Structure 1
Amino acid sequence: MSSSAFEVRGGNRLKGEIIPQGAKNEALQIISAVLLTSEKVTIKNIPDIVDVNLLIELLGDMGVTTERVSRDTCIFQADKVDMEYLQSPEFRKKSGKLRGSVMIAGPLLARFGQAYVPKPGGDKIGRRRLDTHIIGFEKLGAKFVYDNDDNYFHLQTDGLQGTYMLLDEPSVTGTANILMAAVLAKGQTIIYNAACEPYLQQLSKMLISMGARISGVGSNLLTIDGVNTLKGCEHRMLPDMIEIGSFIGLAAMTQSEITIKNVGLQHLGIIPEKFRQLGIQMEFRGDDIFIPFQEKYEIQTFLDGSILNISDHPWPGFTPDLLSIVLVTATQAQGSVMIHQKMFESRLFFVDKLIDMGAQIVLCDPHRAVVIGLARQHKLRGITMSSPDIRAGVSLLIAALSAEGKSTIQNIDQIDRGYQYIDQRLIALGADIKRI
């Protein structure tokens, strides 16, 4: 796996329809939630990607019956969870590789009274703190010990108790983890400054269908009245909004005419609007987004004429996962934009590769970059580069597809972690990509 690379020949105009995969960030939460009940849970629209498959495998090793009916549908039953396995070196090795494995802590703590959380690994995008998770569990009455020998947090409880908590940051995974623990806690839990992303709304919807009592869904104030047990359910995941945004950027950069099918438009929030600010035209046709061929796209300015600034912000603000896509798309626009990445430290470090390709970008500091659009007067040129994290990987792939000549992108298992069969799906639209 680790030695594979993409060889991309840029300059092709793509054409056709593409269907976004199920949402990766929703999948890790939803699949962890199957641990909350001993009954069968059916999950549909699962993305077939490394991070998600690893989590399903991990659940299987823990004794959860997993029946993969098709690549995108799985039936889980957690009626015989082997808690001893959690103390084994195999579990440590596997869960340590997977950032999403932190999401099983909330359900395990709530149902079995204990959990083990590895210190996070994964992307090179700055600190990914677990404080929100651990402090939240503590407030619900769990005790934890950090073991320096194995780099694990050992959590345990004689029974979680509902409480009021104000989160220090609206962490999506933190909120999800605390929410999953709280649904089985005694009494009422109130979570303020909760994340309210569509993924969390989906998780809440699923938990409610299992018999949980949650109010305030979609807001930053969640109220949970604990219940004794939860039952099985069926859940369908949303399409991946990061993929949808990536495809909008790709269409504009490569002057392509693409229809993105079944996008779940009402769950996309401000995303289409941000790409419109870059001058990209799109038409909503039912639940599809049609992006027409565009000779050029011009970045809007603010009403007073000042330079557009696009920054990330917790939902319903603009997701940090799409800032690298916006940045890369802006390199061929007409006009300038300031990209301000507030939420992560080193997400912008891939711009040096774009500069090598001929893009005009001023990296002000680890959080801000000014992009001066080339307005297609100069094409980017193909180079050899490596992908530092999932989202930057796809940004570089988009840059390569619009560039002149051949690009080689190394370390593409970072891309495979988040995007299923991305090469095959783009080849079907006319892209020239080889996996080597």
Structure 2
Amino acid sequence: MASFKITGGLKLSGEITPQGAKNEALQILCAVLLTSETVTIHKIPNIIDVVKLIDLLGDLGVEVKKLSEESYQFKAENIDLEFFGTKEYTQKAASLRGSIMLLGPLLSRFGKAMIPKPGGDKIGRRRLDTHFIGFEKLGAKFLFDNKSSFYHIDASALKGTYIHLDEASVTGTANIVMAASLAEGKTTIYNAACEPYLQQLCKMLNRMGAKITGIGSNLLHIEGVSELKGTEHTMLPDMIEIGSFIGLAAMTQSEITIKNVGLEHLGIIPDTFKRLGIKMEFRGDDIFIPSQQSYEIETFIDGSIMNIADAIWPGFTPDLISIVLVVATQAKGTVLVHQKMFESRLFFVDKLIDMGAQIILCDPHRATVIGLNRQINLRGISMTSPDIRAGVSLLIAALSADGESTIHNVEQIDRGYQNIDKRLNALGAKIERVD
């Protein structure tokens, strides 16, 4: 297990370029299974979850060729379906939540699949019903073995149908879209997720020969086709990294330029951080964050306390709620942070309280943050990263704190952020990785 030793209180400066989007990568990489032809993908982030998924694809028989640091070619011509019955498959698929998105392409192209209950962050309940109800409505039959925690799915004759999702699940929508792309007839998905990453998947599938309309809305229509071709695809910049860097600049009073952010795909993320008082300038496709001595949280028009909550797209992404909470600890003013989707995601605030932050954890979903306005600096402590987003939030807090901090279990951070210690050290941070 690795740890970070962080020297806090240093101002950073310079330019940083966000990695390719983790949440898009997990969908796009699974989609290569839909065709026997070559698929070339650019801007693939070098993070643990993505590396694990590429490794798993190779074990399934996909030919994987690394073209450069961020570009790969994939050819899923000879898939080994017998690999599903191996102990190695069970171990690898169970350790990666993104493995659930293997199901849609495998069912669509091969008519069957099996998968262990996937892993991932312990941030609360993350049910898979949406995926399986969608597959069932397309004609699939599945069995869950409680003893082995294995899902067995038979989909020898998928047919298009009308599906009204009970939740606008991003991965659920992606899985059903991929399954429907080769199904017989027309599929309509209502209450579909419409995140930019889901839009990217649909556009990629259309270039491969799929017939998907309604992209960017919550009503998708998929006309099934008999086969899909190869294509080339470039992933978007990671919006969660971009939001993290905005928060980092504010907390450390740093002047940072975030390069090539894909501004048109960021939705309300910049405006949400502006409501915390963070200044920024848009320079072409870059975001410039000036050094700020202080930043003040807005109130609502009637003077009431600001409330920032997550929501399905085009609302504010839940993956940045932890960053908002940390940034608010040194702002002037008070904010109620409401994490609606995951009931365990705010439990890391006890570490921030130990660092000197003034936070009231109202319940598993809500925390009130009383900003210190830099009158009292956070202090360095020893802590453990519970999940990807909380881990980076604690890293930001440590970089702004007085003294030295230690963060254990940084493999959690590595699952979502590419070489984060080296990239921030290049801006003037002092982060040492130790075993």
Cross-structure match for 2:267: 269
Q: Is the 8 A contact 1:254 1:401 kept in 2?
A: yes
- SS state of the match for residue 301, structure 1? coil
Q: 82, 85, 90: which one pairs with 2:83?
A: 85
Cross-structure match for 1:147: 145
Cross-structure match for 2:5: 7
**Cα distance in structure 2, aligned partners of 1:284 and 1:117:** 44
Is 1:319 the counterpart of 2:311? The answer is no
Deviation at residue 356 of structure 1 after TM alignment: 0.2
Amino acid at match of 1:39: E
Cross-structure match for 1:301: 299
Cross-structure match for 1:95: 93
- SS state of the match for residue 67, structure 2? strand
Q: 57, 60, 72: which one pairs with 1:59?
A: 57
Q: Is the 8 A contact 2:211 2:223 kept in 1?
A: yes
Describe the superposition over 1:218-276 as per-residue Cα deviations: whole angstroms up to 9, x where unpaired: 00000000000000000000000000000000000000000000000000000000000
Amino acid at match of 2:417: Y
Q: Is the 8 A contact 2:99 2:118 kept in 1?
A: no
Describe the superposition over 1:361-392 as per-residue Cα deviations: whole angstroms up to 9, x where unpaired: 00000000000000000000000000000000
Q: 249, 252, 256: which one pairs with 1:251?
A: 249
Deviation at residue 347 of structure 1 after TM alignment: 0.2
- Matching of residues 113-262 of structure 1 within 5 Å: 113-262=111-260
Amino acid at match of 1:80: N
**Cα distance in structure 2, aligned partners of 1:259 and 1:181:** 40
Q: 320, 340, 343: which one pairs with 1:342?
A: 340
Amino acid at match of 2:331: A
Q: Is the 8 A contact 1:120 1:128 kept in 2?
A: no
Amino acid at match of 1:40: T
Deviation at residue 159 of structure 1 after TM alignment: 1.5
Describe the superposition over 1:159-215 as per-residue Cα deviations: whole angstroms up to 9, x where unpaired: 200000100100000000000000000000000000000000000010000000000
Cross-structure match for 1:21: 19
Describe the superposition over 1:106-150 as per-residue Cα deviations: whole angstroms up to 9, x where unpaired: 000000000112213221100111100011100000000112332
Q: Is the 8 A contact 2:90 2:115 kept in 1?
A: no
Amino acid at match of 1:54: K
Cross-structure match for 1:426: 424
Amino acid at match of 2:405: S
- Which has the higher mean CA deviation after the structures are superposed, 272-281 or 110-119? 110-119
Q: Is the 8 A contact 1:256 1:293 kept in 2?
A: yes
- SS state of the match for residue 431, structure 2? strand
Cross-structure match for 1:112: 110
Alignment gaps of 5+ in structure 1? none
**Cα distance in structure 1, aligned partners of 2:388 and 2:114:** 26
Q: Which ranges of 4 or more aligned residues in structure 1 deviate by more than 4 Å?
A: none
Q: 282, 285, 294: which one pairs with 1:284?
A: 282
Describe the superposition over 1:281-330 as per-residue Cα deviations: whole angstroms up to 9, x where unpaired: 00000000000011100000001110000000000000000000000000
**Cα distance in structure 1, aligned partners of 2:416 and 2:227:** 33
Amino acid at match of 1:14: L
Amino acid at match of 1:377: Q
- SS state of the match for residue 196, structure 1? coil
**Cα distance in structure 1, aligned partners of 2:234 and 2:397:** 33
**TM-score normalised by the chain length of structure 1:** 0.99
Q: Is the 8 A contact 2:259 2:287 kept in 1?
A: yes
- SS state of the match for residue 117, structure 1? strand
Amino acid at match of 2:104: G
Is 1:404 the counterpart of 2:376? The answer is no
Q: Is the 8 A contact 1:252 1:280 kept in 2?
A: yes
**Cα distance in structure 1, aligned partners of 2:45 and 2:389:** 16
**Cα distance in structure 1, aligned partners of 2:133 and 2:385:** 33
- Which has the higher mean CA deviation after the structures are superposed, 149-158 or 61-70? 149-158
User: Sequence identity of aligned pairs in percent?
Assistant: 71
Q: Is the 8 A contact 1:18 1:261 kept in 2?
A: yes
- SS state of the match for residue 70, structure 1? coil
**Cα distance in structure 2, aligned partners of 1:192 and 1:118:** 28
**Cα distance in structure 2, aligned partners of 1:257 and 1:157:** 54
**Cα distance in structure 1, aligned partners of 2:108 and 2:23:** 22
RMSD across aligned positions (CA): 0.5
Amino acid at match of 2:89: F
Deviation at residue 158 of structure 1 after TM alignment: 1.8
Cross-structure match for 1:33: 31
Aligned length: 434
